[in-house]
Chains A and B, each alone.
Chain A
Amino acid sequence: MIPVCRLEELPEGESVRVDVEPPIAVFHTDGELYAIDDTCTHQDASLSEGFLEGCLVECPLHEASFDLRTGVPTCLPARRPVRTHRVTVDDGMIHVHRSEKENAAA
């Protein structure tokens, strides 16, 4: 369980990068919190710096788009999903529960 930040520090529409290995990106969008691997599966770009639109985040480098709920890319050039991680809020603190496995959708 990785502590991220307090809920009020991550307003709606924002994202934060957690510097673990490999890094994780946490998003607050549409009233939900989502966590995925931060590094795009195409090349070396940080998805926490991507463009957030609903449950999709667009990679800042070549515009591959990932569904935050499943980690699955919705368009090229990415072909492999990013891992998704479970997020909880305990006493106002956001935590990420890292999943070790690759996504089943891979």
Chain B
Amino acid sequence: MRTVTVVGASLAGLYAARELRAQGFDGRLVIVGEEQHRPYDRPPLSKDFLSGKASESDLALSDDEETLELGAEWMFGVRARGLDARGRTVLLDNGRTVSTDGLVIATGARARRLPGPQLPGVHTLRTLDEARALRADLHRGTRRVVVIGGGFIGAETASSCAAMGHDVTVVEAAPLPLLGQLGPEMAAVCARLHERGGVRLVTGTGVAAIEGGTRVTGVRLTDGRLFPADVVVVGIGATPTTEWLAGSTLAVHDGVLCDDGCVTSLPQVVAVGDVARVGGVRAEHWTSATAQPRVAVRNLLAGHTVEHVRPLPYFWSDQYGSRLQFAGRREQGDVPRIVEGSTEEGGFLAVYERDARTTAVLALDRPRPFTRLRRELARADAQSTTMPSAPASAATPEPTPAPAPAPASAAPAAVAV
């Protein structure tokens, strides 16, 4: 392989580039990034960056020295707009093309928006540019903020806004925020954090309309209520960035379909991070984006799938001065049990159980015992999954299930772990 192109210059793309060099690829390395910025870390955008505690330089994922060491050709502010059928030519929106022997797809996902015109004052929060715009709006004095969506981005944004002294309302369509991730018992516990932070939580109702003229003035709910707003943050999830693959032969179905080793239906094309549906699962987790590249690159350089990646799902969230951490493969019906602390105050550690087996662990301000349990879970999980992979369609329930079963694509013929 003489040239490898990485499309996407965020966390997963950067980690893939690092892995290529670390695993001995010394050919031409091209990295294409849609944003104008060098790779930066997104999780702080809804927290310290918004509040002003962290600056843009604090977000950098890499420094000059490392950038130099990578010896890559970087293209920033350039969007890939097509891939040929063989997966050998990447078309760019600046009119250029890149001929490549290997391809890493790391184009991530875009914040979902509400339909209709985007009024000034209505924000999404996923990129640095979006965070800059929201931050500017929030530093203009005390605001009435309505956050649509009580997921992690929504909760963290609400928490940051409240800490800045704004008047904040969170609107969640489901009966409870994080219901899908945590189950009803623990979602109810975590919902109380909003209250504790002085934020109004409105659940079980959708948004009928964003009201306003030259600027947003309020949010109308489906139950008829109107919440006046100077700033609205829409945190209703993200859509994988795959439009540019429309003309290729790659299978796309809420993400680029890959086998358990991040390899697509073309052996010299791998996908990592938020855009990749790996073995039937697309996980928008920081830890997936950092764990997948090593395996993806190994398989890319080997020319076929020689290793699988199935990290134990792990995510965390900082909100209202507390740190929430979750790890494991929780299924519906798993029963949570508090093993340390209390849900009333001061944090707790909870395990989810099924048939006397621990399936997942959740902690609020209990980092140390959480880490211990997470490692135990990961170890047990690795043991139970070192068998030959199931086809991509045999997915277990996960954070972002496909709207319909994903077709089994490119199930690896041979497996060694």
Contacts and interface: CB of A to CB of B under 8 A. Distances in A.
A60 B286 contact: no
Contacts of B372: 51
B237 to A, nearest CB: 23
B371 A50 contact: yes
A76 B41 CA distance: 13
A77 B290 contact: yes
B25 interface: no
Contacts of B375: 51
Contacts of B326: none
B44 interface: yes
A43 B48 CA distance: 10
Interface residues of B, number: 20
A58 interface: yes
A50 B375 CA distance: 12
A49 B368 contact: yes
Nearest to B47: A44
**Interface SS of B by simple majority:** helix
Interface string A18-62: 000000000000000000000000011110011100000010111
Contacts of B371: 49-51, 58, 60
A45 B372 CA distance: 16
Given A61-B316, A76-B290, A77-B290, A43 B368 contact: no
Contacts of B61: 77
Contacts, number: 34
A79 interface: yes
| Residue of A45, A46, A49 ringed by the most chain B CB atoms within 10 A | A49
A49 B367 contact: yes
A60 B370 contact: yes
Contacts of B63: 79
A62 B285 CA distance: 11
Interface string B47-61: 010000000000001
Given A50-B371, A62-B286, A79 B44 contact: no
Contacts of B368: 49-51, 60
Interface in A59-81: 60-62, 76-77, 79
Contacts of A60: 367-368, 370-371
Contacts of A51: 368, 371-372, 375
B286 to A, nearest CB: 7
Nearest to B61: A77
Contacts of B344: none
Nearest to B58: A43
A97 B375 CA distance: 33
B355 interface: no
A46 B371 CA distance: 13
A58 B316 CA distance: 16
Interface string A74-100: 001101000000000000000000000
A50 B175 CA distance: 35
A58 to B, nearest CB: 7
A51 B15 CA distance: 24
A74 to B, nearest CB: 14
| Residue of A44, A60, A77, A79 ringed by the most chain B CB atoms within 10 A | A60
Nearest to A58: B371
A44 B54 CA distance: 11
A64 B290 CA distance: 12
A34 to B, nearest CB: 17
Nearest to A46: B367
A60 B378 CA distance: 14
B66 interface: yes
| Residue of B43, B61, B367, B372 ringed by the most chain A CB atoms within 10 A | B367
Contacts of B48: 44
B370 to A, nearest CB: 7
Contact of B367 (A45, A77, A79): A45
A99 B34 CA distance: 43
Nearest to A15: B368
A102 to B, nearest CB: 15
Nearest to B48: A44
Given A51-B372, A60-B371, A77-B290, A43 B44 contact: yes
Interface of B: 15, 18, 41, 43-44, 48, 61-63, 66, 286-287, 290, 316, 367-368, 370-372, 375
Given A49-B371, A61-B367, A76-B18, 15 more contacts: A43-B44, A45-B367, A49-B367, A49-B368, A50-B368, A51-B371, A51-B372, A51-B375, A60-B367, A60-B368, A60-B370, A62-B287, A76-B15, A79-B62, A79-B66
11 contacts: A44-B48, A45-B367, A49-B368, A51-B371, A60-B371, A62-B286, A76-B15, A76-B290, A77-B61, A79-B62, A79-B63
Interface of A: 43-46, 49-51, 58, 60-62, 76-77, 79
